[in-house]
Amino acid sequence: MWDDAFPSFLIGLREGLEAGLIVSILVATLVRAEARSRLPQVWTGVLAAVAVAMSFGAVLTFTAASMPQTAQEAFGGTLSVIAVAFVTAMVFWMRRSARSLSGELKEKVTGALAMGSGVLILTSFLAVGREGLETALFLWTTAQAAGESAGPLAGAGIGLVLATILCWGLYRRVLKINLTKFFTATGAVLIVIAAGVLGYGLRDLQEGGVLPGKTAYAVDLGSSVDAGSWYSTLVQGVLNLTPTMTWLQVVAYVGYLAVVMTLFVRGVRGTTPKPAKERTETERQPKAARRRPVWVVPAAVVAVPAVIAGAVVALSRPKPAGDQTVAVSESECGKGFTAPKPGRQTFQMKNTGGKTSEVYLIDPSTSAVYGEIEGLAPGTTRDLVATVAGGTYAWRCVPTGGKAVTSKSVTVTGGGAARPVVPVSEQDLAAPLKQYKAYVGQGLDTLAGQTRTLADDIKGDHLDKARTDWLTAHRTYSSLGAAYGTFEDFDKKINGRADGLTDGVHDKDFAGFHRIEYGLWHGQSAKDLTGPAQQLATDVAGLQKAFPSQDFDPGDLPLRAHEILENTLQFELTGDTDEGSGTNLATADANLSGTRELLTVLKPLLTSRAPKVLPTVDADIARVQKLLDAAHDGGHWTPVDQLGASDRQRLNGAAGQLLEDLAPIPDLLEIRKSA
């Protein structure tokens, strides 16, 4: 959180100090001119500027949230670039105007005193409003870059409070600050931060499809830099520099920094402020005007921007696709469905039939799914939210125990392109399942021989050889991770853990690989381990015989692609399953091999549905493999608890990124009745 707070703290401090100085000069000018009665007009203008800035921030936040993902990225990227332009202009303006700011404002205020109250309100509003809008825009873009708002808001709040204290001290002449040096120093830092925001904004535009080069990486340090480490998080939060950056990001970052920082360092000396023309008290007094309640104008300047912002947000939020609900039943599907407008839409689906139904919004030509509801019970209504673009749409309803019913299709024009998911059927997964079962069968054949060898080692009291053969056999079993759910009770017997057992590692029910591991690395004799080793070989032989007839749900294959690495992170990379051998990384390596094999059989389905997933995952696997290889020297694996802190962070970070990139696979290859 706090790593994301510094840029917002700096912008809050600098913009707050700028606005505070302006307000201080306005107030001081009126006080010295003996026109204290006009102070409420200044505060009214300031209040109006704050209200407009907050309303602007609300509009940015809520309108962006109602957009499709790619539109959000394009919108955020555009505003990031605009924010950089505003901040750059602000930095140079204050660098140039710091010396003459007081004189210019005094002249404007003195001129406004001779006119109506509205002019003084407008003067203070314009003087403060620019800082408010810049702060709102820059704060929104930094929150977008951080992916959360707590840190940026906290940083900006602290900066504004500190700026208020400094301005009060300056006004009361308690503090003396060289403002030219202050704005020069903070300006240089802001230029560096703005360069990062520019790079982030351009990346968003690439993700949103506005700019090319999304996969043209100039820097890819994902395998050597842990994205989750404190130092990486700090650099990303403060400077918006990430371990992976495209050529466009790097060129823009370096180019902006080189050009803007060079111009800034040269500096532009401000001109000597011109003395403000003194006016008489008579000139300062406005003409008599009809009196109104003092609260009317302040209330109006706050209410008007808030009402306008609320209207903009309300109009931009997704609407139901029509006034009528869309009916679902065994005989009719999509009754009341009319062509929706492009954009993010909410459909109200009501089951008017007598059976629970699955409901899908599809492209009728390909059966690709744009949105779905599972288990819509009779008589109930639920919302289905989907992004609609140019194309043909229809509803497909699949009642429990009944046949699929498809509605009439409608055509939507314009609106770009949506990303439907091509459904997968059990038949689609039949070939990958057959291929993977053959892989598991071969693995079990190998494992049966390896566990017999292990049992013979222990029976013959060759415990050093048994330790080597134990690891070989355990790695073979660990590479079959996608089938664990099919092994039924055999998995607990073969690879069960002591956790949860009454007597832990000494419990009579503790068996399998980890029981033998504990004994081999805790000095137990061959006599103590002969029984457990023979039992392990027997259980593996039983699994080998039972597996061909065990029920292997084809829907498990996509799920296991994610779960194997999830278990690796939870158990192996924490050292949680280590019973003395220190070989968790060897097990993680075997898990990675099992994941790679599973992705190989799923490749044809993934390539046709999400062609960018596998190249990304392959790169992630290569990073993790490289880090695991570095911890392996011949037959020795570095124990997890002996890894250096940075090595462990990099490994966890790379595995976490792989897990994140594997996460969409279960949804992409979920078996859907719409197929």
- Chain-centroid distance, C-alpha 444: 40
> Tokens for 481?
């991770």
How crowded is residue 297: how many other Cβ atoms within 10 Å of its Cβ? 19
pLDDT score recorded for residue 276: 44
The mean per-residue pLDDT over the stretch 639-656 comes to 90
> Tokens for 585?
């990384």
pLDDT at 474 over 80: yes
pLDDT in tens, 52-92: 777 777 766 666 555 555 565 666 677 677 767 877 876 77
How crowded is residue 58: how many other Cβ atoms within 10 Å of its Cβ? 18
Q: How far apart are CA 367 and CA 404, in angstroms?
A: 12
- Tokens 């940015």 label which residue? 60
> Tokens for 413?
């024009």
> Tokens for 541?
């032989």
The mean per-residue pLDDT over the stretch 283-304 comes to 51
Q: How far apart are CA 631 and CA 329, in angstroms?
A: 59
DSSP 271: P
Q: How far apart are CA 401 and CA 130, in angstroms?
A: 64
pLDDT in tens, 209-259: 778 877 777 876 755 665 555 566 566 655 667 777 888 888 888 998 888
At 351 the three-state DSSP class reads: strand
pLDDT score recorded for residue 481: 78
Nearest CA to 86 among 252, 197, 200, 249?
197
Least confident of 17-26, 40-49, 577-586: 17-26
Q: Give the number of C-alpha atoms closer than 13 A to the C-alpha of residue 415, restricted to the C-beta side.
A: 20
pLDDT in tens, 163-196: 788 777 766 765 566 656 766 776 787 788 778 7
The mean per-residue pLDDT over the stretch 335-345 comes to 82
Full strand arrangement of the beta sheet holding 343-351: 333-335, 326-328, 343-351, 381-388
DSSP 289: -
pLDDT at 308 over 80: no
- Chain-centroid distance, C-alpha 73: 12
> Is residue 276 a contact partner of residue 106, using CB atoms and an 8 Å limit?
yes
pLDDT score recorded for residue 174: 54
Kindly report each contact of residues 186-189 with a partner whose C-beta sits within 8 Å and lies 24 or more positions away, as own/partner.
Answer: 186/10, 186/13, 186/14, 187/14, 187/91, 187/92, 187/94, 187/95, 187/264, 188/261, 188/264, 188/265, 189/10
Confidence of residue 281 (pLDDT cuts 50, 70, 90): very low
DSSP 408: P
At 368 the three-state DSSP class reads: strand
> Is residue 384 a contact partner of residue 345, using CB atoms and an 8 Å limit?
no
Q: How far apart are CA 356 and CA 358, in angstroms?
A: 7
> Tokens for 53?
């800035």
pLDDT at 38 over 60: yes
Beta bridge pairs of residue 373 = 359
450-454, 483-487, 560-564: range with highest mean pLDDT: 450-454
pLDDT score recorded for residue 345: 81
Select the more confidently predicted residue: 488 or 602. 602
> Tokens for 156?
């900006």
Q: How far apart are CA 51 and CA 45, in angstroms?
A: 10
